[in-house]
Amino acid sequence: MNHLSKLMLCPLLAAMLAVPFYSATAAEPAKSKSTNSKSKTATAAEPATAPAVAETATAPPVQQYQYSTRPAAIAGGANPFNRLLKVAKVPHQSASGDEIHDPTNEGTMILQPPLEAYDGLPQTETGLGNGVDWVKALDDGNIKPRWERTDPTAEPMVMDMNIVRVPKSSMPDVVFPHRQHTLWLACSNCHPDIFIPRKGANQINMASIVLGQKCGVCHGKVSFPVSECKRCHSQPKKVAVNGGGPTQ
Amino acid sequence: MTFEPRLLIRHTLCRLFPGIVLLLAFVMLLASPPASAEYGDVVLNKRAEKAGMRPVIFPHWFHRIRFRCRVCHTEVGFEIRAGSNNILMADIIEGRFCGKCHNNKIAWGPQNCQLCHSGLPGLEGGVRGGPTTGGPSKW
């Protein structure tokens, strides 16, 4: 390699190196600043550590919601909703283009596209998950899923009992409706493995839910995602007359 | 030979050039947008590819239109936690797990290999379609 080509390569290299740092700066300014300066010294002093530093500096880019039904408040702009919850770029793709089905497989083309099945079903406000309000679809009679494998006339034993949980944070209280759950599930699906059926016996917090325990066993995978906060945190907190100040 | 810091940096960078390009390509692969599978799609690949078949893709949305959760997760015997079911093709043909319905009576039978074994080779098992909670889906 002659000297001229080396000179030409340098600005290119600098630009390529700058790209991941730039995107990282957009995500978390404080952290990337320190890694940026660190990586400069590391590249100069000991080249062996350079790859590791570059890897930590490139955080995955912020995912923008692409749903047509998104409310204007989270439509991007200066404060996009960002908890690094990965959302499909183009929702409800047919099997031939959804990036997990093999388009060369002869059976793939026979599979029904999701949007065809969702035609006429009530939609959720956020459009997250399947974008379908499954409980409403069931209540309105849009779908008639069987309760028993072979008997289309079998009816579930619905238990209509709400459980209110008061979070320690300022979030509205959680109302857990047994009715919507017993429409779909048997008692033994949740009790006693996931939830002990006794008042006060279950410690639930958002951290464990996001890690896939408690409500997170289903919610966030098949049932509506945890990012639909208001569907659980649905009851305004009861505030004391003195606004929660000291008693007496 | 004088040591100019700028020259040193440039020479080091030029020597590292192929490595950096490779690393950038790898990082770009990692940062690619998540697969746009439908929410709740499950990839089963514990055995399929080792046995020379494409991975299985189970669409939750298709089944919940026809059956309530209870049917599969109590009557048929699928554990709710992804990864905790050991499903052999022999089970299905003998009428267990998927074979309880996929028996040419309730739904099409197990001779339609390509309808289930339809995943891209190399897929990892787990819940797809942008799961927003971790844990069991990553098992």
Which pLDDT score, from 0 to 100, does residue B59 have?
95
Residue A214 pLDDT greater than 70, yes or no: yes
Which pLDDT score, from 0 to 100, does residue A30 have?
41
Rounded to the nearest angstrom, the minimum Cα separation between B66 and chain A is 4
Out of B24, B33, B41, closest to residue A100 by CB: B41
- Which tokens belong to A138? 């069931």
Tell me what the pLDDT averaged over chain A comes to: 76
Residue A3 pLDDT greater than 90, yes or no: no
For residue B138, what pLDDT band results from cuts at 50, 70 and 90?
very low
Which pLDDT score, from 0 to 100, does residue B10 have?
72
What stretches of chain B show up as alpha helix (H) in DSSP? Answer: 5-30, 60-66, 69-70, 89-93, 113-116
* Model pLDDT for residues A163-208, shown as the tens digit of each residue: 999 999 889 999 999 999 999 999 999 999 999 999 999 999 998 9
Nearest CA in chain A to B38: A92
Residue contact A212–B69, C-beta within 8 A = no
Which pLDDT score, from 0 to 100, does residue A6 have?
54
Dihedral over alpha carbons B98, B100, B102, B103 (to 10 degrees) = 140
- Decide: residue B17, CB within 10 A, 0-12 exposed, 13-18 middle, 19+ buried: middle
Higher pLDDT, A146 or B29: A146
Q: Which of A35-39, A94-98, B90-94, B127-131 is the most confident on average?
A: B90-94
- pLDDT-above-70 percentage for chain B: 71
Out of A55, A107, A210, closest to residue B27 by CB: A55
Q: Which residues of B touch A220 (CB under 8 A)?
A: 131-133
Q: Which of A56-60, A95-99, A163-167 is the most confident on average?
A: A163-167
| B115 alpha carbon, distance to own chain's centre | 16
Rounded to the nearest angstrom, the minimum Cα separation between A231 and chain B is 16
Residue contact B24–A99, C-beta within 8 A = no
Residue contact A100–B130, C-beta within 8 A = no
For residue A136, what pLDDT band results from cuts at 50, 70 and 90?
very high
Among the residue ranges A73-82, A87-96, B41-50, the one predicted with the least confidence is: A73-82
Residue range A134-162: mean pLDDT, rounded: 95
Residue range B87-99: mean pLDDT, rounded: 96
For residue B83, what pLDDT band results from cuts at 50, 70 and 90?
confident
Which pLDDT score, from 0 to 100, does residue A127 have?
84
In sequence order, the β-bridge partners of residue A95 are: none
Residue A210 pLDDT greater than 90, yes or no: no
Residues in B 38-77 with any Cβ partner in A closer than 8 A: 38-41, 43, 54, 57, 59-62, 64-71, 73-76
Residue A156 pLDDT greater than 50, yes or no: yes
Higher pLDDT, A193 or A66: A193
Which pLDDT score, from 0 to 100, does residue A25 have?
40
Nearest CA in chain B to A92: B38
Residue range A59-70: mean pLDDT, rounded: 54
Chain A to chain B Cβ contacts (< 8 Å): 225
CB contact at 8 A, A55 and B23: yes
Nearest CA in chain B to A91: B36
Round to whole Å and give the CA distance between B119 and B116. Answer: 8
For residue A98, what pLDDT band results from cuts at 50, 70 and 90?
confident
CB distance from B108 to chain A under 8 Å? no
Nearest CA in chain B to A106: B114
- Model pTM greater than 0.80? no
* Model pLDDT for residues B108-123, shown as the tens digit of each residue: 999 999 999 999 999 9
Q: Which residues of A touch B19 (CB under 8 A)?
A: 51
ipTM: 0.72
3-state secondary structure B14-29: HHHHHHHHHHHHHHHH
Q: Which residues of A touch B135 (CB under 8 A)?
A: 211-213, 216-217
Residue contact B136–A114, C-beta within 8 A = no
Residue range A88-111: mean pLDDT, rounded: 86
CB contact at 8 A, B121 and B54: yes
Round to whole Å and give the CA distance between B41 and B63. Answer: 11
Rounded to the nearest angstrom, the minimum Cα separation between A204 and chain B is 14
* Model pLDDT for residues B7-60, shown as the tens digit of each residue: 767 776 667 766 765 665 555 444 444 447 899 999 999 999 999 999 999 999
Higher pLDDT, A47 or A224: A224
Residue contact B31–A54, C-beta within 8 A = no
